[in-house]
A and B are shown apart, each in its own frame.
Chain A
Amino acid sequence: MNKKYILGIYDDEDILLDAIEKIRAAGTKIYDVFSPYPVHGIDDVLGIKRSRLPIAAFIFGLCGMSFALWMMIWMMGFDWPMIIGGKPHIALPSFIPITFELTVLFSAFGMVWTFFIVERMIPTFRVNVFDKRSTDDKFVMAIEVKEGVTDMKALNNLLRSSGAIEVNEKEVVK
């Protein structure tokens, strides 16, 4: 099914931020905004909720910590007990560095993979690029057009009056 989008092209960060606020205040739902670099404060004006990635990171970290402790306690304490430096088999202080490393490793890799999966950045997924200039020097705001509901002319005017230098239409194959 094809979807139609209206694209507002902006060339200034501050104008873009003002425009987003204006357009949202007018009751129009913004599908997404594409920018060549992270724009400070854009999450707030777009009303995007904070990422829950830190919670995932914490859980991955806990997994890494438990895995490391379980691994070393089982190996050194039960599977193949060895006396090293006259210490007890299960000598917790000497396990701490590896526990720390695995906690960091698990939470870092877990976070990266979670991010890729949630953002659909796996090679087989197709990502729609609305306007190639959003990877160069322009900001692109995409608004979904609902047939028969969206007033195209009003939307066009709204975008123009908010400072868009161009307004385009784009059909995307889903």
Chain B
Amino acid sequence: MTEERLIISRKTNNRFFLMIAIGVVMLIAGIIFMAIGGGAGHGEGHGEAHDVVSWSKRLIVNLWLNNVYFSGIAVTAVFIVAVHYVAYGGWYVLVKRIPEALAYYLPIGGIVMLLLFLIGRHDIFHWTHEGLYEVGGPEYDPIIAGKQGYLNFTFFLIRMIIYFGLWILFARLLRKNSINEDMYGGTTYYDKNIVLSGAFLVIYGISSSTSAWDWVMSMDTHWFSTMFGWYVFSSWFVTALAATTLAVIILKQNGYLHLVNANHLHDLGKFVFAFSIFWTYIWFAQFLLYWYANIPEEALYFIDRLGGNNGHYKAIFFLNLIINFAFPFLVLMTRDAKRQMIMLKIVSIAVLAGHWLDFYLMMMPSTLRAESGFGFIEFGTALVFLGVFLLVFTRGLTKASLVPVNHPFLEESVHHHV
């Protein structure tokens, strides 16, 4: 087996920079439109009756949304690698370097999230307002005050640093061993990574849930769901799988990864298919109970997203289900669809966009209420993050051979057959 190095041409790199530049221009345009008045895109017209959302709030919520989405892809990519180590997975060895490289976004995600929390926490999280905790004060909220032991500035910050610290540490260690294995061979690095992966899975199992409570669920401060950690995890997982699949296909179409064949694509397709269903299962398990019991404080979440907010989110609510369940379920059902690049590519892109929309639906109703929309700010932020993510990801890919030449299961992966 020979090494295979990815070369990112200047042109491709420039394309990513162009993406970022366009994003920034759109952002500035969006901010100017909003600052002058009127508001960009969808939110127009409602402005007078409700409190008008400032451009800075809309910008910060959008930044937070994209950062949670992309950091989720990065950390869940480490999870994919770890799962396959612990399960002695052989088939994935040829595509292993892609999730490894996806994790390169983690440090940036951590810094951006830290800064956003420090600067814009009042725009994102209702519970950060001091007045809520003053007994007898005009804004005193006994329910939120009861959650103060967990939801307070210091503890939140400590948790965020711990999550990112551990995630980055394990991503680095797993990657380092993997690269050392390329150079020195033997099974010692493999054995080390199995131990590391086991530890990471435990950490990820806890931190994926708690980070979902912290970063997403606490936006609806009154509301709670015991399914929420799983819900966000399933969304991240299927997104990371779709990102891996899409990257494999694009690399293959550009002449790399020549050892990867339809059998590997088939397994990736099965993963995307299966975890789209898994996401739907979690989504429905959460919805059904709240819909059936119809207890006001619980049903509020779905009221905000269906009839509430002037029905602002109704279309997105159902589109979310169609694009993330019905579409991958029906399209990827047959064996042939999973083995064809074009089908997989379409579904991966749909799933990536669909789960971005899923996070949009988790965050926007609780922060911007009926004032959110799809304007320059939304697309601009998404483009900037996508550009940065691709830049970091491709740089990570070029740092090592695309084929892990000394992985003990490489031979098995090359002869993988479904």
Interface residues of A (CB under 8 A from B): 40-41, 50, 54, 58, 85-87, 93-94, 96-97
Complex CA distance for A93 and B302, rounded to whole angstroms: 14
Smallest CB separation, A64 vs chain B (Å): 15
> Contact between B417 and A93 (Cβ–Cβ < 8 Å)?
no
Interface residues of B (CB under 8 A from A): 284, 287-288, 291-292, 294, 333-335, 417
Complex CA distance for A94 and B287, rounded to whole angstroms: 10
**Which residues of chain A have C-beta atoms less than 8 A from B291's C-beta?**
93
> Contact between A85 and B292 (Cβ–Cβ < 8 Å)?
yes
Q: Which residue of A lies closest to B288 (CB)?
A: A93
> Contact between B335 and A86 (Cβ–Cβ < 8 Å)?
no
Enumerate 8 A-B pairs (CB-CB under 8 Å) in ascending A order: A41-B417, A54-B334, A58-B333, A85-B292, A93-B284, A93-B287, A93-B291, A94-B292
**Which residues of chain B have C-beta atoms less than 8 A from A50's C-beta?**
335
> Contact between B335 and A94 (Cβ–Cβ < 8 Å)?
no
Known: A85-B292, A94-B292. 18 other contacts (CB 8 A): A40-B417, A41-B417, A50-B335, A54-B334, A54-B335, A58-B333, A85-B294, A86-B294, A87-B292, A93-B284, A93-B287, A93-B288, A93-B291, A93-B292, A94-B288, A96-B284, A96-B288, A97-B288
B interface, over-half SS? helix
Q: Which 4 interchain pairs have the tightest Cβ spacing?
A: A93-B291, A93-B288, A41-B417, A85-B292
Complex CA distance for A41 and B263, rounded to whole angstroms: 13
Smallest CB separation, A95 vs chain B (Å): 10
**Which residues of chain B have C-beta atoms less than 8 A from A40's C-beta?**
417
**Which residues of chain A have C-beta atoms less than 8 A from B292's C-beta?**
85, 87, 93-94
Smallest CB separation, B279 vs chain A (Å): 15
**Which residues of chain B have C-beta atoms less than 8 A from A85's C-beta?**
292, 294
**Which residues of chain A have C-beta atoms less than 8 A from B284's C-beta?**
93, 96
Q: Which residue of A lies closest to B287 (CB)?
A: A93
Smallest CB separation, A14 vs chain B (Å): 13
Q: Which residue of B lies closest to A40 (CB)?
A: B417
Q: Which residue of B lies closest to A94 (CB)?
A: B292
**Which residues of chain B have C-beta atoms less than 8 A from A58's C-beta?**
333
**Which residues of chain A have C-beta atoms less than 8 A from B294's C-beta?**
85-86
**Which residues of chain B have C-beta atoms less than 8 A from A87's C-beta?**
292
Smallest CB separation, B263 vs chain A (Å): 11
Complex CA distance for A24 and B97, rounded to whole angstroms: 40
**Which residues of chain A have C-beta atoms less than 8 A from B287's C-beta?**
93
Complex CA distance for A58 and B333, rounded to whole angstroms: 9
Smallest CB separation, B68 vs chain A (Å): 28
Q: Which residue of A lies closest to B291 (CB)?
A: A93
Q: Which residue of A lies closest to B336 (CB)?
A: A50
Q: Which residue of B lies closest to A61 (CB)?
A: B333
Complex CA distance for A172 and B417, rounded to whole angstroms: 36
Smallest CB separation, B183 vs chain A (Å): 33
**Which residues of chain A have C-beta atoms less than 8 A from B335's C-beta?**
50, 54
Smallest CB separation, A51 vs chain B (Å): 10
**Which residues of chain B have C-beta atoms less than 8 A from A94's C-beta?**
288, 292
Smallest CB separation, B219 vs chain A (Å): 25
**Which residues of chain B have C-beta atoms less than 8 A from A54's C-beta?**
334-335
Q: Which residue of B lies closest to A86 (CB)?
A: B294
Complex CA distance for A92 and B294, rounded to whole angstroms: 15
Complex CA distance for A94 and B292, rounded to whole angstroms: 8
